[in-house]
């Protein structure tokens, strides 16, 4: 493993410990919760008497978050060992190919969710010239999708960390 | 008898947490903050269920099964939900700021009690 290093700096040793992996998974769950509750905050703000404007959260505002969450579900439910199709024995070319297609669809859904969040912010709130406390409903959409993406990245990294860890154990 | 002392201290902390949450709802005649208690009681449940579900024979995968990670994900979700729920309620003026602070502190006390209680129990089981 040492000989195959590509970068100048080695990976720090604490990245491979089991505690870091556990903390990463907890952190991902927390970030996903923050994302969901930012969106719920925007929706309940839209319904509350504080919202004096004509802007309201409709189903359109929820669509990007739904796509982001679906993408996260797809990405993180794929078995990572199926992805490296260079092997010969267990993962035949069919399985690796399918895994890559499904993974691509997951990433596309997530990126589409983020792009949709920005789209809703621009088209529904900025173009209609919403002032600040109203524009929060649009900003919350972008923040939600960004946090879902960040949570998914952390979950992915900590799952890959797990593979390295078990690999070291097996050697 | 360190076990008795820790149990007494933990029960005091639990009682203080419950008092804070109940005060935060009863002082303002607004019982929405009681949801925090439900959240924190639910928080260790996914971890518990998934650690039971993971219990199969292959010892190479011990502790790194994806079912366990799903449980940890859900637990982290619930813990942050216990903080985020009062903040959301206070931001939309369903509850007051003081009630928000009291329910967050009380909920954190309740959850830390639950966690440390299970930790003490696990430590005793190993002997």
| Beta-carbon pairs below 8 A across chains A and B | 74
Q: Which residues of A touch B84 (CB under 8 A)?
A: 33-34, 37
Structure tokens given for A170 = 């097996």
With tokens 């970030």, the residue in question is: A31
pLDDT tier, B64 (very low <50, low <70, confident <90, very high otherwise): low
| pLDDT tier, B77 (very low <50, low <70, confident <90, very high otherwise) | very high
Report pLDDT digits (tens) over A54-85.
888 889 899 999 999 999 999 888 877 767 65
Chain A residue closest in CA terms to B70: A25
Within 8 A of A35 by CB-CB distance, chain B residues are none
Assess: ipTM above 0.85: no
Q: How far apart are CA A64 and CA A119, in angstroms?
A: 9
Task: Dump pLDDT digits (tens) for A25-65.
Answer: 899 999 999 999 999 999 988 888 888 788 888 898 999 99
Choose among A29, A155, A162: nearest Cβ to B64.
Answer: A162
pLDDT at A1 over 50: no
What are the Cα distances from residue A10, in Å, to A1, A4, A14, A32, B89?
A: 11, 11, 12, 30, 46
Output the pTM of the full model: 0.82
Chain B within 8 Å of A164 (Cβ-Cβ)?
A: no
Tokens coding B77: 């979700």
Over the stretch B7-40, which tens digit does the pLDDT of each residue have?
Answer: 888 899 999 999 998 888 888 888 888 888 888 8
CA distance B8 to chain A (A): 29
Residue keyed to tokens 């309740």:
B110
Instruction: For chain B, list residues whose CB is within 8 angstroms of any CB belonging to chain A.
Output: 60-61, 63-64, 66, 69, 72-81, 84-85, 87-88, 91-94
SS3 content of chain B, % helix, strand, coil (to 5): 85, 0, 15
Place of tokens 């007051």: B96
Task: For residue A34, list chain B residues with Cβ-Cβ distance below 8 A.
Answer: 80, 84
Other C-beta atoms closer than 10 Å to the C-beta of B50 total: 21
- What's the rounded Cα separation, in Å, for the pair A28 and A43? 23
């Amino acid at each position: 493993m040492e000989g195959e290093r590509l970068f100048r700096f080695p990976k720090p040793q604490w990245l491979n410990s089991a505690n870091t992996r556990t903390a990463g998974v907890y952190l991902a769950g927390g970030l996903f919760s923050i994302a969901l509750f930012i969106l719920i905050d925007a929706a309940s703000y839209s319904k509350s008497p504080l919202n004096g404007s004509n802007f309201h959260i409709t189903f359109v505002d929820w669509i990007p978050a739904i796509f982001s969450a679906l993408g996260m579900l797809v990405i993180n439910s794929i078995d990572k060992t199926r992805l490296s199709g260079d092997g010969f024995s267990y993962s035949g070319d069919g399985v690796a190919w399918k895994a890559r297609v499904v993974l691509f669809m997951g990433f596309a859904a997530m990126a589409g969710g983020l792009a949709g969040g920005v789209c809703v912010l621009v088209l529904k709130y900025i173009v209609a010239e919403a002032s600040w406390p109203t524009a929060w409903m649009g900003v919350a959409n972008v923040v939600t999708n960004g946090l879902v993406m960040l949570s998914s990245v952390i979950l992915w990294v900590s799952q890959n960390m797990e593979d390295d860890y078990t690999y070291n154990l097996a050697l | 008898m360190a076990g008795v002392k820790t149990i007494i201290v933990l029960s005091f902390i639990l009682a203080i947490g419950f008092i804070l949450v109940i005060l935060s709802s009863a002082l303002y005649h607004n019982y929405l903050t009681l949801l925090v208690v439900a959240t924190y009681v639910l928080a260790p449940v996914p971890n518990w269920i998934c650690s039971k579900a993971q219990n199969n024979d292959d010892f190479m995968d011990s502790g790194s099964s994806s079912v366990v990670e799903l449980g940890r994900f859900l637990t982290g979700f619930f813990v942050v939900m216990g903080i985020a729920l009062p903040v959301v309620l206070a931001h939309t003026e369903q509850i007051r700021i003081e009630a928000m602070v009291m329910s967050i502190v009380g909920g954190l006390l309740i959850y830390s009690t639950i966690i440390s209680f299970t930790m003490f129990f696990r430590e005793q089981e190993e002997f």
